[in-house]
Amino acid sequence: MGAPAILVVDDEEAVRAVVKKFLEHSGYQVLEAGGGEEALHLLWQQRFAIALLLTDIMMPGISGIELAAEAIKVQPELPVLFMSGYCGQYGDSLNGNQCVQKPFNLQELLRQVVRTLQPDRIHDRCTRWP
């Protein structure tokens, strides 16, 4: 079985590149999309399940919140983790999902990813990373 696949969605290419590189270095497979439409296209095409949708909230076209709602129609058990500079403003719209505040520390992002994917093993996984 391969590493869990994370779909990273952000309209800012620089953010996607940094997050992708960091998560790959941390042992995950990463697919990336520059917006909601592209992300949904990737979800429809996948021959395997995505382990986590990591998405910005504010994007042109389909917002991250709208993307999450559509994505769970494609993959009903898909965990979602938001990343945004507007986490506090959208708390009630996140349907219980967590949001990492931008700008974020990459170690905090990793802790949230691990917590979302494996809530019972967060301490073990996070203590392995400096």
Residue 106: give its domain's CATH number: 3.40.50.2300
Distance CA 45, CA 47 (A): 6
Tens-digit pLDDT profile for residues 58-83: 999 999 999 999 999 988 889 999 99
How many domains are there within the chain?
1
Which of 77, 103, 90 minimizes the C-alpha distance to 19? 103
Q: What is the predicted pLDDT for the residue at 93?
A: 75
Domain that holds residue 56: 5-126
Q: What is the predicted pLDDT for the residue at 127?
A: 35
Long-range contacts, 12-20 (Cβ 8 Å, 24+)? 12/56, 15/56, 15/102, 18/106, 19/54, 19/83, 19/106, 19/109
Q: What is the predicted pLDDT for the residue at 129?
A: 35
Q: Which segments in the chain show pLDDT lower than 70?
A: 1, 47, 91-92, 119-130
> Token pair for residue 7?
């779909």
